[in-house]
């Protein structure tokens, strides 16, 4: 389904959602809504992660063993599933960052070529 | 280290997959709770912002984008999700197919027949044309034949063979052989037996990689002058004559009166070009003359593993050029052509097989068309179901996948059934096509064919299911609900189905035209002008043992007396002898030239089929005498050598000048022959060929221990065979009369292979017609169904039955018309391809084309009529009541 891009918002670069989630969770354990809010907030409102992408990604990461979900209580006393980074997840984040950095450097080089 | 990591990841995957399947319900429950808590959290925030509780939850749900859709997406991304979905799809598919037993049975049956036939034929095509001959590394085996200036392929000269064998480096080894079904008499034991003899050099069997099952193979030393006189016998003969006793090795048998020692027994699976009971060494005493312009043996070579066919060909040209310099008289322009053994052996069945294969594939496509049509109309009926599923969160991809699973499940059943059918059909095809006779193992359905069946089952599943699935699942649920029952959607899929029908009509007409052409050409063949009269003509052969007769004259006297006695029998009109009968014993051509000039070089030589005949041959065969006289009993050894030539031979040698009384040189006889007669041309080699140039010499001036008998009878020819056998035995107890058969049945057998192809083609064309008629009927029936209300109203306001009938028929027949045009356009180049099989029929044969079109239109009209009649019976009240 084609969605018109709202000005000031960018589509997530393909394949980077996992990395963003892992990075967000590396700061502190969060529940689903927390993750999407944090990404929105850190990116200055540029990236919005819809639940339709967020939950599939979270569950996938959990199955891969990179994050671990535990049921806890939210700030307003609601039961919620909190996700935290596992050691495997931390390693994975490192890998993703490295390859992302490589890609960015390469793209920059191409763009700056005269 | 990498493998270790890969292993641990793989393990995790497997565990994850198992967990998500086994613990699916737990996971789903947890997901449900998680999403509810998400909604709570979002709604809490909205309520803090001052929204009412209901509004907050409504807004939260909108932002979430559908709880069920999100759940479905999570499930899709789970490890092992695919397997899970597949199991689910299979479950749904099985349920749906079970619910629609009628649909399933019809579709499976149609497809199973198509898949079965295609698999069986594929297995044959693969065995014969791809896998081929069963010798080790057979792809390196080549047949060597001579060529003059690149044409006139035929046997090699024996002397040339030695030169090529000794000089070639790209060919490991070259053997020579001759297996023209040469006969001999095996004379020990209680009764003499006629056997087939193959001649070969000692190395033929080592090149072919054939090992004897008893005793030893030929050795080089067997071939030396005064060698061991060894022969190899077939397993069949070993069983018949020796009861499979191991004493056979080293035993002596008498062949044509000459003692031979059995060196070994070849396995029953061994077969090479023609069947032979006994293999004799060519170089000791084969019937082959040692002259460079006599060509009577074929070569078999094995290319070395480091050389290619092209390299070998280049080398052959080089050796040939050298020989041409050394022997300019005989070898100018002469070379050796290499043909892969495989191609040489399958040359007669290749075209027929490929034609059948192409036809079967077309029929399979037709069957796919019908089943796809069935799926399309079923898809229409399932629109609501699909819309419902879509609303409940199923993505479009998921729906397409599910529908495809259904069609794949269906074609898998059809594939399994089809393999069974293929086994049945394989037996049938083997009986129809003389594959065993060309020296190739009889094909069985093997692994490759089964893989092929799997492949086409999946292929047809996709073909049949993809378009209907995309069509059905493509609709947005809301659209479907708005559009009410059926209208816009049905329009497009009706167009699709109509397209399928047009395709089917096109394929059918192409097949019909092709089979019509073939049938016409068969009719032409049966009535073909052979140049002799086949009616009431008995043929057979008589073999005496040369050693029983002291001189050739004595042999000749036996045959002359035999002919006279047979001719005097009641029921016999006339009888004659000939060295080789037309069609039954083809080939053997010798050079012929006017004797007033020196013999031309081999490349400029005119050739004609050489035959020895007794007096009365032309009368017996019904070959007209055009000028001069017949061979007479007085033409014998010691009188002037005479020859009777055919009209076309006379024209080739002398143009418009008179041929009678001229002298000609023939072959390597080193004698001059007086032309005493000219007779009509006749087909001597192949029914499906032009008449051959021929020369007939006097039997009494040649002499042979083997002659063919032609007897013109008044009664049923084959009823006389016992009587003739008694006469032969009465005159010489060691003589054999064999292969007694009427010329009519020889000819019908000659056409049998051809007829098989035609019958199968006709069968397939019929099947194609039936499938097309079913498809057409389905489309129109559906069409009438959707327009019932319209027809009802039309009739209510006064449309006549004829008008309604015309509307429906018009629609059906216009589809047929488009298909016909397309089909005829495709059929024309197609029939050019089968032209090689056609005799005296041009591809644009108005009669068979018109017949095919007429037949198809008739059947199509029949298929349209039923739905059309139903349209005329629509009752407006009933339509309104049901809506």
Mutate which: A37, A38, A56, A69, vs B, most B CBs within 10 A: A56
Q: What is the pLDDT of residues B742-776, one digit of tens each?
A: 998 888 776 766 666 677 777 777 777 877 787 77
Give the three-state DSSP class for B589.
strand
Q: What is the pLDDT of residues B117-136, one digit of tens each?
A: 888 888 877 776 766 567 88
> Lowest mean pLDDT: which of B111-115, B439-443, B629-633?
B439-443
Q: A60, B12: Cβ pair inside 8 Å? A: no
Q: A59, B74: Cβ pair inside 8 Å? A: yes
Position B345 pLDDT exceeds 60? yes
Backbone torsion region of residue B209, taken as left when φ is above 0, otherwise alpha when ψ lies between -120 and 50, otherwise beta: left
Kindly identify which residue of chain A lies nearest to residue B15, measuring between CA atoms: A63
**Mean pLDDT across B677-700:** 87
Pairwise CA distance, residues B883 & B872, whole Å: 19
Q: Which residues of A touch B44 (CB under 8 A)?
A: 76, 78
With contact defined as beta carbons under 8 Å apart, do B105 and B359 qualify?
Answer: no
CA angle, corner A53, sides to A49 and A57, nearest 5? 110
Pairwise CA distance, residues B626 & B678, whole Å: 5
Half-sphere exposure of B276 (CA within 13 A, CB side): 24
With contact defined as beta carbons under 8 Å apart, do B876 and B792 qualify?
Answer: yes
Other Cβ atoms within 10 Å of B739 Cβ, number = 17
Pairwise CA distance, residues B557 & B551, whole Å: 10
Is residue A9 in some structural domain?
no
Q: A78, B40: Cβ pair inside 8 Å? A: yes
DSSP string, A39-83: HHHHTTTS----HHHHHHHHHHHHHHTSEEEEEEE-TTS-EEEEE
Half-sphere exposure of B718 (CA within 13 A, CB side): 8
**Mean pLDDT across B806-827:** 85
Kindly identify which residue of chain A lies nearest to residue B65, measuring between CA atoms: A52
Radius of gyration over every alpha carbon of chain A, rounded to an integer in angstroms: 16
Pairwise CA distance, residues B534 & B520, whole Å: 21
Question: Which residue of A33, A63, A78 is in closest CB contact with B78?
Answer: A63
Q: A76, B77: Cβ pair inside 8 Å? A: no
Q: A63, B34: Cβ pair inside 8 Å? A: no
Q: B34, A79: Cβ pair inside 8 Å? A: no
Q: What is the pLDDT of residues B592-642, one digit of tens each?
A: 999 988 888 767 788 899 999 999 999 999 999 999 999 999 998 889 999
Find the helix or strand (DSSP H, E) in which B737 lies: strand B736-742
Q: What is the pLDDT of residues B394-427, one digit of tens each?
A: 777 777 888 888 888 888 888 899 888 888 877 7
Give A111→chain B minimum CA distance, Å: 35
Other Cβ atoms within 10 Å of B135 Cβ, number = 19
Q: Which residues of B touch A79 (CB under 8 A)?
A: 33, 37
DSSP string, B2-33: HHHHHHHHHHHHHHHHHHHHHTHHHHHHHHHH
Report residue A85 as tokens.
Answer: 């980074």
Confidence of residue B286 (pLDDT cuts 50, 70, 90): very low
Give B387→chain A minimum CA distance, Å: 17
Give A100→chain B minimum CA distance, Å: 22
In CATH, what number is assigned to the domain containing residue A88? 1.10.10.10
Among B687, B686, B757, B742, residue whose Cα is nearest residue B524:
B687
Residue B283 phi, psi (nearest 5): -80, -15
Mutate which: A51, A57, A61, A92, vs B, most B CBs within 10 A: A51
Pairwise CA distance, residues B516 & B520, whole Å: 6
Pairwise CA distance, residues B829 & B155, whole Å: 35
Report residue B238 as tokens.
Answer: 């070993």
Q: Chain B: which residues have CB within 8 Å of chain A? A: 12, 16, 20, 30-31, 33-35, 37-38, 40-42, 44, 63-65, 69-70, 73-74, 76-79
Say which residues have a Cβ less than 8 Å from residue A99's Cβ, sequence separation at least 6. Answer: none
Q: What is the pLDDT of residue B883?
A: 55
Q: What is the pLDDT of residue B597?
A: 85
To the nearest 10 degrees (0 to 180), the angle between helices B752-786 and B788-796 is 70
What b/e readout covers B351-363, taking b as 16+ CB neighbours within 10 angstroms?
ebbbbbbbbbbbb
Q: Using a pLDDT cut of 90, give the percent of chain B over it.
A: 20
Give B428→chain A minimum CA distance, Å: 55
Burial label for B536, CB within 10 Å (0-12, 13-18, 19+), is: middle
Mutate which: A33, A37, A62, A63, vs B, most B CBs within 10 A: A63
> Lowest mean pLDDT: which of B223-227, B236-240, B542-546?
B223-227
Among B512, B405, B328, residue whose Cα is nearest residue B93:
B405
Mean pLDDT per 10-residue segment, chain A (114 residues): 44 74 90 88 83 86 87 82 90 89 88 81
Give the three-state DSSP class for B612.
strand
Give the three-state DSSP class for B454.
helix
Position B357 pLDDT exceeds 70? yes
Confidence of residue B712 (pLDDT cuts 50, 70, 90): very high
Find the helix or strand (DSSP H, E) in which B557 lies: helix B552-567
Among B686, B179, B140, B737, residue whose Cα is nearest residue B437:
B179
Q: B74, A31: Cβ pair inside 8 Å? A: no
Give me the residues paired with residue B299 across strands: B144, B176
Q: A81, B64: Cβ pair inside 8 Å? A: no
DSSP string, B829-861: HHHHHGGGG-SS--SS-HHHHHHHHHHHHHHHH
Pairwise CA distance, residues B641 & B612, whole Å: 12
Position B576 pLDDT exceeds 90? yes
Give A88→chain B minimum CA distance, Å: 12
Is residue A3 in some structural domain?
no
| CA B786 to mean position of chain CA atoms | 45
Is residue A5 in some structural domain?
no
Is residue A11 in some structural domain?
no
Give B69→chain A minimum CA distance, Å: 8
Q: What is the pLDDT of residue B489?
A: 46
Give percent helix, percent strand, percent coil of chain B, each to the nearest 5: 60, 15, 25
Q: B77, A57: Cβ pair inside 8 Å? A: yes
Question: Which residue of A50, A59, A80 is in closest CB contact with B77?
Answer: A59
Give me the residues paired with residue B695 across strands: B610, B645
More confident: B713 or B438: B713
To the nearest 10 degrees (0 to 180), the angle between helices A32-42 and B24-48 is 60
Q: Which residues of B touch A31 (CB under 8 A)?
A: 37-38, 41
Pairwise CA distance, residues B853 & B509, whole Å: 7
- The DSSP secondary-structure symbol of B130 reads I
Domain count for chain A: 1
Q: Which residues of B touch A64 (CB under 8 A)?
A: 12, 16, 79
Give B17→chain A minimum CA distance, Å: 9
Place of tokens 């959607």: B489
Pairwise CA distance, residues B398 & B76, whole Å: 9
To the nearest 10 degrees (0 to 180), the angle between helices A32-42 and A51-64 is 110
Position B181 pLDDT exceeds 60? no
Find the helix or strand (DSSP H, E) in which B266 lies: strand B258-266
> Lowest mean pLDDT: which of B52-56, B154-158, B333-337?
B154-158
CA atoms B175, B181, B184, B190: torsion sign: positive
Give B7→chain A minimum CA distance, Å: 14
Pairwise CA distance, residues B864 & B879, whole Å: 22
Report residue B330 as tokens.
Answer: 């005989």
H helices of B188-308, where? 204-208, 235-242, 282-285
With contact defined as beta carbons under 8 Å apart, do B134 and B267 qualify?
Answer: no
Mutate which: B73, B78, B80, B81, vs A, most A CBs within 10 A: B73
Radius of gyration over every alpha carbon of chain B, rounded to an integer in angstroms: 38
Say which residues have a Cβ less than 8 Å from residue B93's Cβ, sequence separation at least 6. Answer: B402, B405, B406, B409
Q: Is the ipTM of this complex over 0.85?
A: no
Kindly identify which residue of chain A lies nearest to residue B66, measuring between CA atoms: A52
**Mean pLDDT across B675-701:** 88
Backbone torsion region of residue B709, taken as left when φ is above 0, otherwise alpha when ψ lies between -120 and 50, otherwise beta: beta
Q: B79, A63: Cβ pair inside 8 Å? A: yes
Pairwise CA distance, residues B805 & B12, whole Å: 68
Q: What is the pLDDT of residues B457-502, one digit of tens each?
A: 888 888 777 877 777 666 555 565 555 444 444 566 677 778 878 8
Domain hosting residue A90, numbered range: 17-112
**Mean pLDDT across B773-795:** 78
Q: Which residues of A touch B63 (CB under 8 A)?
A: 51
Half-sphere exposure of B412 (CA within 13 A, CB side): 10
């Amino acid at each position: 389904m084609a969605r018109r891009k709202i000005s000031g918002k960018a589509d997530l670069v393909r394949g980077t959602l996992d990395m963003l989630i892992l990075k967000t969770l590396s700061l502190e354990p969060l529940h689903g809504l927390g993750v999407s809010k944090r990404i929105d907030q850190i990116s200055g409102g540029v990236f919005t992660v819809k639940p339709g992408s967020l939950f599939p990604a979270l569950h996938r990461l959990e199955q891969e063993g990179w994050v671990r979900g535990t049921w806890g209580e939210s700030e307003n006393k609601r039961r919620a599933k909190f996700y935290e980074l596992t050691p495997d997840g931390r390693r994975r984040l490192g890998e993703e960052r490295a390859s992302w950095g490589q890609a960015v450097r390469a793209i920059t080089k191409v763009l700056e070529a005269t | 280290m990498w493998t270790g990591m890969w292993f641990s990841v793989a393990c995790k995957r497997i565990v994850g997959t198992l967990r998500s399947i086994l613990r699916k319900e737990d996971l789903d429950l947890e997901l449900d709770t998680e999403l509810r808590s998400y909604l709570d959290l979002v709604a809490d925030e909205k309520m803090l912002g001052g929204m009412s509780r209901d509004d907050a939850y409504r807004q939260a749900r909108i932002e979430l984008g559908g709880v069920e859709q999100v759940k479905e997406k999570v499930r899709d991304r789970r490890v092992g999700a695919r397997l899970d979905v597949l199991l689910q799809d299979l479950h749904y598919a099985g349920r749906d197919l079970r619910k629609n037993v009628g649909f399933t049975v019809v579709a499976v049956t149609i497809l199973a027949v198509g898949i079965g036939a295609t698999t069986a034929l594929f297995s044959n095509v693969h065995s014969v044309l791809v896998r081929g001959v069963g010798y080790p590394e057979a792809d390196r085996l080549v047949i060597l034949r001579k060529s003059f200036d690149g044409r006139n392929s035929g046997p090699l000269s024996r002397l040339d063979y030695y030169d090529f064998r000794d000089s070639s480096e790209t060919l490991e080894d070259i053997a020579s052989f001759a297996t023209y079904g040469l006969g001999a008499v095996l004379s020990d034991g209680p009764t003499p037996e006629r056997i087939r003899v193959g001649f070969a050099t000692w190395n033929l069997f080592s090149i072919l990689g054939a090992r004897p099952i008893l005793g030893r193979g030929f050795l080089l030393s067997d071939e030396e002058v005064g060698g061991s006189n060894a022969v190899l016998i077939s397993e069949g003969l070993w069983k018949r004559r020796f009861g499979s006793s191991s004493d056979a090795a080293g035993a002596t048998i008498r062949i044509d009166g000459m003692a031979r020692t059995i060196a070994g027994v070849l396995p029953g699976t061994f077969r090479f070009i023609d069947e032979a009971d006994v293999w004799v060494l060519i170089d000791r005493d084969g019937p082959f003359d040692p002259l460079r312009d006599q060509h009577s043996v074929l070569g078999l070579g094995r290319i070395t593993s480091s050389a290619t066919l092209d390299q070998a060909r280049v080398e052959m040209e080089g050796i040939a050029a050298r020989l041409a310099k050394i022997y300019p008289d005989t070898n100018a322009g002469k070379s050796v052509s290499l043909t892969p053994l495989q191609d040489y052996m399958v040359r007669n069945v290749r075209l027929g097989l490929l034609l059948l294969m192409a036809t079967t594939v077309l029929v399979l496509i037709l069957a796919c068309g019908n089943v796809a049509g069935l799926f399309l109309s079923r898809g229409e009926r399932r629109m609501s179901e699909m819309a419902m599923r879509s609303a409940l969160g199923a993505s479009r991809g998921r729906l397409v996948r599910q529908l495809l699973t259904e069609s794949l499940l269906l074609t898998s059943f059809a594939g399994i059934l089809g393999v069974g059918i293929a086994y049945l059909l394989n037996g049938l095809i083997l009986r129809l096509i003389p594959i065993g006779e060309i020296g190739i193992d009889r094909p069985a359905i093997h692994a490759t064919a089964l893989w092929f069946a799997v492949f086409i089952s999946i292929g047809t599943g996709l073909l049949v299911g993809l378009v209907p699935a995309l069509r059905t699942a493509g609709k947005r649920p809301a659209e479907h609900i708005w559009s009410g029952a059926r209208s816009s959607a049905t329009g497009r899929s009706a167009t699709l189905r109509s397209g399928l029908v047009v395709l089917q009509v096109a394929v059918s007409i192409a097949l019909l035209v092709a089979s019509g052409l073939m049938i016409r050409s068969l009719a032409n063949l049966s009535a073909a002008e052979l140049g002799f009269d086949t009616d009431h003509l008995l043929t057979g052969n008589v073999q005496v043992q040369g050693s029983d007769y002291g001189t050739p004259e004595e042999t000749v006297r036996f045959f002359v007396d035999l002919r006279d006695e047979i001719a005097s029998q009641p029921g016999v009109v006339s009888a004659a002898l000939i060295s080789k009968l037309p069609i039954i014993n083809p080939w053997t051509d010798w050079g012929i030239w006017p004797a007033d000039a020196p013999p031309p070089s081999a490349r400029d030589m005119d050739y004609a089929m050489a035959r020895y005949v007794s007096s009365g041959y032309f009368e017996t065969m019904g070959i007209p005498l055009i000028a001069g006289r017949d061979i007479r009993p007085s033409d014998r050894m010691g009188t002037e050598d005479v020859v009777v030539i055919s009209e076309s031979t006379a024209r080739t040698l002398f143009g418009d000048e008179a041929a009678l009384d001229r002298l000609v040189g023939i072959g390597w006889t080193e004698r001059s022959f007086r032309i005493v007669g000219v007779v009509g041309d006749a087909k001597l080699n192949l029914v499906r060929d032009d008449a051959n140039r021929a020369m007939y010499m006097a039997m009494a001036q040649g002499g042979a221990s083997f002659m063919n008998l032609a007897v013109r009878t008044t009664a049923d020819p084959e009823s006389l065979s016992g009587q003739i056998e008694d006469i032969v035995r009465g005159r010489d107890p060691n003589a054999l009369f064999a292969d007694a058969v009427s010329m009519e049945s020889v000819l019908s057998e000659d056409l049998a292979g051809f007829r098989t192809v035609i019958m199968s083609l006709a069968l397939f064309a019929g099947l194609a017609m039936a499938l097309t008629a079913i498809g057409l009927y389905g489309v129109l029936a559906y069409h009438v169904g959707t327009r019932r209300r319209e027809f009802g109203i039309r009739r209510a306001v006064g449309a006549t039955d004829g008008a309604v009938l015309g509307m429906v028929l018009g629609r059906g027949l216009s589809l047929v018309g488009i298909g016909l045009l397309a089909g005829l356009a495709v059929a024309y180049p197609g029939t050019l391809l089968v032209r090689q099989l056609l005799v005296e029929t041009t591809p644009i044969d108005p009669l068979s084309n018109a017949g095919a079109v007429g037949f198809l239109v008739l059947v199509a009209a029949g298929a349209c009529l039923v739905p059309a009649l139903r349209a005329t019976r629509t009752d407006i009240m009933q339509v309104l009541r049901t809506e």
